[in-house]
């Protein structure tokens, strides 16, 4: 039953490999986006829908968390190719009906690819899989809530797990965590646990708040922007517009990445004439082709070189721990730095010189830094370098973790976290909810708990847990062992095909759709909170909003006379409570009624105030752990193609990297191919080796010779998740090490 993601209908027979592209976006990009939209929505609906993306009075693009410019600065096309694809996936005219489930058994669906599942369209009615059945069948909303309530009431609250993905609105997230806590558990794992958790942990410890310290305005006026471990051309295309703007104002851009990603090297802005014709803007002035995992060594070396350029005024007034840090970085072993980073000393010195000369430096990063065993120390080392130069709380400077899901940051602000939130007392005061004092399960702990029989109910507000989580076989078995699984979803996905004994799919409204209860609000990567107004007719009359589902479930489980019993009828009613519970949300309703919304307070950014125990930003001492691979092994990182949104596969192409018609590819450098005796185009199994002695295998990948740093390999998420051991996680953040997997490539004969 439980097996690797199937490959039957992946269409890899049509796999085609061409040289990687040298520039991103431009008109071809937008045309690709429009083509995707029209296939799913038709011409008229596409035009009406896409014109509302990220406009004041429109809806927030479900694509990514990059902020929108101020309303007067916005173009009519404040979306990108991949935003258009994200919207098209939701606003599609295709439908998954109860008849669909009658036609397709769950075993049948389990044999389909993620791509096929996603392409079936929007879920239209609540369905249940009963204990003795291999089919999902219709169920009324009332019966669905009654069934879940009966099961939840029958077990200890800590046997339930409440997962959240990052698209959920502030209001629904707030209601969900309040419900889970009133029910009696802090088991609130979320996609952040697999994403920017390492950033949150490192920033909280060093600057006292787990969020980035820059605004979009800062990016526009920065003199130097270092983009580390991030592929904005695919995953945050609107960021390229901001980089281009900074660049035109004189900024220098440095890219640090094992892959020469197209968007970082050259960008054709579709909103400017020179993006339509001509070669576009060369974005990155310097490209450091770092080895996977070499970033801590790089930032340690940069710190060493920048010691003579320390901003002593800032350090004395606002930081602690500098002496120890300076002692630790007084010398570096250049041989170690060069082998760990794969870079030459001169290249690092060049970047250090840029940093020494810049009075406004921003460091941006994403998954290339957060999903490794030493992610937290690495990000702390980035913080060290920025503190050393006084680059926090200064215009045009700062720390910029670029978030993924469009409201993942807001969900955390609203208390989606597996520990008691800092404002637990306010929740008790306003809603009478006693927040448990215990530490709940994060994603990895939740999988262990299900696997070991300590948790038996899994509920998910969005997301695709089965495909997103590590160690696919273990995760699938863990989910399948549950007594009850409940999925609040817009689209069919892998997690639905791995049901517990009883399983429900509760279809909900998406962000593009009209909601009778009003508009929702979201928070972007730079702490700006604003309204998102859906305008399309719902995909089916049978859908409920996430808020309605949570409110009705709360009533069914906890009793009808709860304070939030009527929340589903009014988002303003929820915001009224949030304003009293969550700091920074005073006058919430009035502030989000304005076109631009408001930016949450951020001590380090606004006034160089640091909510650490000693009130100072903290330098830390981090040890470079030398990675040595056994002979014949590569360090694999798993990444996104241009045609996917996490586990949602839009198509089988990765245009900028020259791949079309398939996804089971592994990128390897020419040097490594030669030393491994493998030919470009040959077929291999990827086998991961970890200290638990278990060999995990992802079968049938085509080797692609690629300009990737030597010693490393790259493959796509989620196909490669089967290779990530559950227990291989980042120190302190417990994030699965999806970008640090020791593998060997085993040739297979066709
Ligand atoms: N279209 C689209 N947009 C998205 C998403 C999507 O799937 N599709 N996902 C959203 C989400 S949830 C997130 S979190 C973000 C993800 O955005 P990214 O972080 O850009 O996503 P990844 O594809 O994981 O890319 C990681 C980048 O890090 C590089 N990298 C890998 N290992 C290392 C390393 O050791 N050091 C360095 N310096 N670099 C390394 C890879 O080569 C790659 O360029 O995007 C969000 N936006
Ligand atoms: N190997 C490896 N694994 C990774 C990563 C990696 O880089 N490598 N990246 C990790 C990261 S950064 C992340 S964020 C996670 C992502 O993990 P998740 O957030 O769990 O996964 P998604 O693929 O974003 O979820 C897609 C599903 O969300 C549902 N959905 C979409 N919109 C809505 C909505 O408005 N409401 C509701 N209720 N449901 C909706 C749809 O049913 C869709 O099938 O994966 C992680 N896993
Ligand atoms: Mo993410």
Q: Which residues of 703-723 are buried (b: 16+ CB within 10 A; e: fewer)?
A: bbbbebbebbbbbbbbbbbbb
Q: Is the pLDDT of residue 139 over 90?
A: yes
The domain limits of the chain are 27-91, 95-185+407-594, 197-401, 634-747
Crossing angle, helix 334-341 and helix 295-306, to 10 degrees?
A: 140
Q: pLDDT tier at 132 (50, 70, 90 boundaries)?
A: very high
| CA atoms of 419 and 101, how far apart (whole Å) | 38
Q: Which residues are in the CB-under-5-Å shell of ion ligand 3?
A: 195, 404
Range 201-205 contact pairs with CB under 8 angstroms and sequence separation of 24 or more:
201/376, 201/732, 201/733, 202/375, 202/376, 202/377, 202/378, 202/379, 202/380, 202/383, 202/733, 203/379, 203/383, 203/399, 203/401, 205/380, 205/612, 205/618, 205/620
Q: How many CA atoms lie within 13 A of 503 on its CB side?
A: 24
Instruction: Write out pLDDT tens, residues 228-259.
Output: 999 999 999 889 989 999 999 999 999 999 99
The two beta strands, 741-747 and 683-689, are antiparallel
Phi, psi of 193 (to 5 degrees): -60, -25
Q: Which of 87, 640, 718, 743 to mutate to test the pocket of ligand 1 (most atoms within 8 A of CB)?
A: 640
Mean pLDDT of the chain: 92
Q: Which of 79, 166, 235 to mutate to test the pocket of ligand 1 (most atoms within 8 A of CB)?
A: 235
Instruction: Write out pLDDT tens, residues 498-538.
Output: 999 999 999 999 999 999 999 999 999 999 999 999 989 99
Q: pLDDT tier at 277 (50, 70, 90 boundaries)?
A: very low
Closest CA to 69 of 190, 168, 215: 215
Q: pLDDT tier at 278 (50, 70, 90 boundaries)?
A: very low
Q: How far is the CA of 468 from the centre of ligand 1 (A)?
A: 14
Check residue 402 and give its pLDDT.
97
Task: Provide the residue count of the chain.
Answer: 750
Nearest CA to ligand 2 atom 11: 195
Token pair for 55:
């406009």
Token pair for 138:
């219709």
How far lies 450's CA from each of 53, 180, 214, 570, in Å? 39, 17, 39, 35
Does ligand 1 come within 6 angstroms of the Cβ of 713? no
Phi, psi of 371 (to 5 degrees): -115, 45
Q: Residues 566, 580: contact at Cβ < 8 Å?
A: no
Q: Residues 292, 258: contact at Cβ < 8 Å?
A: yes
Check residue 26 and give its pLDDT.
53
Does ligand 2 come within 6 angstroms of the Cβ of 86? no
Indicate the burial class of 82 (C-beta count within 10 angstroms; 0-12, 13-18, 19 or more). Answer: buried
Sign of torsion over alpha carbons 669, 674, 678, 684: negative
| CA atoms of 395 and 385, how far apart (whole Å) | 17
Q: Residues 541, 80: contact at Cβ < 8 Å?
A: no
Q: Tell me the percentage of the chain whose pLDDT exceeds 70.
A: 92
Does ligand 2 come within 6 angstroms of the Cβ of 503? no
How far lies 87's CA from each of 496, 644, 649, in Å? 22, 12, 13
Q: Is the pLDDT of residue 497 over 50?
A: yes
Q: Which of 61-70, 140-149, 427-436, 469-478 is least confident?
A: 61-70
Nearest CA to ligand 1 atom 14: 404
List Cβ neighbours of 381 (8 Å cut-off, separation of 6 or more): 295, 296, 299, 300, 303, 620, 622
Check residue 372 and give its pLDDT.
97
Q: Residues 268, 275: contact at Cβ < 8 Å?
A: yes
3-state secondary structure of 262: helix
Q: Which of 33, 53, 64 to mutate to test the pocket of ligand 1 (most atoms within 8 A of CB)?
A: 64
DSSP string, 141-184: HHHHHHHHHHHHHHS-GGGEEEEE-TTS-HHHHHHHHHHHHHHT
Class of domain 634-747: mainly beta
Helix (H) or strand (E) holding 208: none
Does ligand 1 come within 6 angstroms of the Cβ of 627? no
| CA atoms of 666 and 716, how far apart (whole Å) | 8
Q: Does domain 95-185+407-594 have CATH number 3.40.50.740?
A: yes
Looking at residues 387-409, what average pLDDT do you find?
96
How far lies 606's CA from each of 67, 130, 188, 392, in Å? 18, 54, 31, 9
Q: What is the pTM of this model?
A: 0.95
Check residue 6 and give its pLDDT.
41
Check residue 2 and give its pLDDT.
34
Q: Residues 503, 484: contact at Cβ < 8 Å?
A: yes
| CA atoms of 696 and 186, how far apart (whole Å) | 32
| CA atoms of 306 and 361, how far apart (whole Å) | 13
Please count the helices (runs of H) and the strands (runs of E) in the chain: 31, 31
Q: Which residues pair with 521 in a beta bridge?
A: 531
Q: Residues 164, 145: contact at Cβ < 8 Å?
A: no
Does ligand 1 come within 6 angstroms of the Cβ of 396? no
Does ligand 1 come within 6 angstroms of the Cβ of 210? no
| Cβ neighbours around 547 below 10 Å, total | 30
Q: Which atom of ligand 2 is nearest to the CA of 493?
A: 44
Q: Is the pLDDT of residue 5 over 60?
A: no
Q: Residues 285, 224: contact at Cβ < 8 Å?
A: no
List Cβ neighbours of 663 (8 Å cut-off, separation of 6 or more): 10, 12, 641, 649, 652, 654, 716, 719
Q: Which of 165, 402, 644 to mutate to test the pocket of ligand 2 (most atoms within 8 A of CB)?
A: 165
Q: Is the pLDDT of residue 12 over 70?
A: no
Note whether 95-185+407-594 and 634-747 share their fold.
no
| CA atoms of 300 and 359, how far apart (whole Å) | 20
Radius of gyration, alpha carbons of the chain:
24
Q: pLDDT tier at 675 (50, 70, 90 boundaries)?
A: very high
Does ligand 2 come within 6 angstroms of the Cβ of 714? no
Q: How many CA atoms lie within 13 A of 100 on its CB side?
A: 16
Closest CA to 733 of 203, 25, 150: 203
Token pair for 179:
């419900």
Looking at residues 65-91, what average pLDDT do you find?
78
Q: pLDDT tier at 39 (50, 70, 90 boundaries)?
A: confident
Looking at residues 354-379, what average pLDDT do you find?
98
The two beta strands, 252-256 and 648-649, are unpaired
Q: Is the pLDDT of residue 654 over 90?
A: yes
Check residue 235 and give its pLDDT.
94
Q: Is the pLDDT of residue 3 over 50?
A: no
Q: Give the sheet arrangement for strand 598-599, strand by strand.
A: 520-523, 528-532, 598-599
Q: How far is the CA of 66 from the centre of ligand 1 (A)?
A: 13
Token pair for 708:
């990737």
Check residue 64 and give its pLDDT.
80
Closest CA to 659 of 678, 631, 640: 640
CATH topology of domain 197-401: Dimethylsulfoxide Reductase; domain 2 (3.40.228)
| CA atoms of 145 and 8, how far apart (whole Å) | 36
Helix (H) or strand (E) holding 452: none
């Amino acid at each position: 039953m439980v097996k690797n993601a199937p490959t039957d209908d992946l269409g890899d027979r049509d796999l085609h490999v061409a040289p990687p592209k040298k520039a991103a976006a431009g008109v071809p990009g937008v045309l690709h986006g429009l083509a995707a939209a029209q296939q799913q929505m038709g011409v008229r609906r596409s035009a009406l829908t896409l014109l509302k993306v990220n406009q004041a009075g429109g809806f927030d693009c479900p694509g990514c968390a990059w902020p929108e410019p101020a309303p007067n600065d916005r173009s009519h096309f404040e979306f990108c190719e991949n935003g258009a694809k994200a919207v098209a996936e939701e606003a599609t005219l295709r439908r998954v009906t109860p008849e669909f489930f009658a036609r397709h058994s769950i075993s049948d669906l389990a044999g389909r690819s993620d791509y096929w599942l996603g392409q079936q369209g929007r879920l239209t009615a609540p369905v249940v899989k009963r204990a003795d059945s291999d089919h999902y069948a219709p169920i009324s909303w009332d019966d669905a809530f009654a069934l879940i309530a009966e099961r939840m009431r029958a077990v200890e609250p800590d046997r339930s797990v409440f997962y959240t993905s990052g698209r959920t609105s502030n209001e629904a997230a707030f209601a969900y965590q309040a419900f889970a806590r009133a029910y009696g558990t802090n088991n609130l794992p979320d996609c952040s646990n697999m994403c920017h958790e390492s950033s949150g942990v490192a920033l909280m410890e060093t600057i006292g708040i787990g969020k980035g310290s820059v605004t979009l305005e800062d990016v526009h006026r920065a003199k130097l922007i270092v983009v580390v471990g991030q592929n904005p051309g695919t995953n945050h295309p609107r960021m390229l517009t901001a980089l281009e703007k900074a660049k035109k104002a004189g900024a220098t851009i440095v890219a640090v990445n094992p892959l020469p990603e197209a968007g970082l090297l050259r960008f054709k802005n579709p909103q400017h004439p020179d993006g339509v014709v001509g070669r576009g803007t060369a974005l990155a002035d310097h490209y450091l082709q770092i080895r996977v995992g070499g970033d801590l060594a790089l930032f340690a070396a940069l710190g060493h070189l920048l010691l003579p350029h320390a901003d002593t005024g800032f350090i004395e007034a606002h930081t602690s721990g500098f002496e120890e840090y300076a002692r630790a970085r007084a010398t570096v072993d250049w041989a170690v730095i060069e082998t760990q980073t794969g870079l030459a000393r001169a290249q690092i010195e060049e970047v250090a010189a840029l940093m020494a000369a810049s009075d406004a430096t921003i460091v941006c990063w994403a998954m290339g830094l957060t999903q490794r065993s030493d992610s937290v120390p690495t990000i702390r080392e980035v913080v060290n370098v920025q503190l050393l130069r006084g680059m926090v709380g200064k215009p045009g400077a700062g720390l910029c973790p670029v978030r993924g899901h469009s409201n993942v940051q807001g969900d955390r602000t609203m208390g989606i976290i597996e520990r008691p939130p800092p404002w637990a007392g306010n929740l008790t005061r306003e809603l009478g909810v006693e927040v448990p004092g215990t530490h709940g399960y994060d994603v990895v702990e939740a999988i262990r708990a299900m696997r070991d029989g300590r948790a038996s109910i899994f509920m998910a507000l969005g997301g695709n847990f089965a495909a997103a989580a590590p160690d696919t076989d273990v995760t699938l078995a863990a989910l399948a062992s549950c007594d009850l699984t409940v999925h609040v979803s817009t689209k069919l996905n892998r997690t639905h095909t791995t049901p517990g004994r009883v399983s429900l799919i509760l279809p909900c409204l998406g962000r593009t759709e009209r909601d009778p209860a009003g508009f929702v609000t979201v928070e972007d990567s730079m702490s700006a909170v604003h309204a998102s107004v859906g305008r399309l007719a719902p995909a089916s009359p049978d859908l409920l909003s996430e808020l309605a589902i949570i409110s009705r479930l709360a009533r069914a489980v906890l009793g009808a006379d709860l304070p939030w019993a009527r929340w589903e009828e009014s988002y303003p009613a929820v915001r009224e409570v949030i304003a009293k519970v969550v700091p920074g949300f005073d006058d919430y309703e009035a502030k989000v009624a304005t076109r631009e919304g408001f930016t949450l307070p951020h001590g380090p950014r606004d006034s160089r105030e640091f909510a650490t125990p000693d009130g100072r930003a903290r330098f830390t001492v981090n040890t470079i752990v030398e990675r040595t691979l056994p002979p014949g092994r590569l360090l694999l990182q798993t990444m996104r193609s241009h045609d996917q949104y996490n586990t949602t596969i839009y198509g089988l192409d990765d245009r900028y990297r020259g791949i079309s018609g398939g996804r089971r590819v592994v990128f390897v450098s020419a040097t490594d191919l030669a030393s491994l005796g493998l030919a470009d185009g040959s077929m291999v199994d990827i086998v991961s080796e970890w200290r638990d002695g278990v060999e995990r295998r992802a079968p049938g990948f085509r080797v692609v010779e690629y300009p990737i740093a030597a010693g490393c390999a790259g493959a796509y998420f989620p196909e490669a998740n089967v290779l990530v051991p559950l227990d291989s996680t980042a120190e302190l953040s417990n994030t699965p090490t999806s970008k640090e997997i020791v593998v060997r490539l085993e040739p297979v004969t066709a």
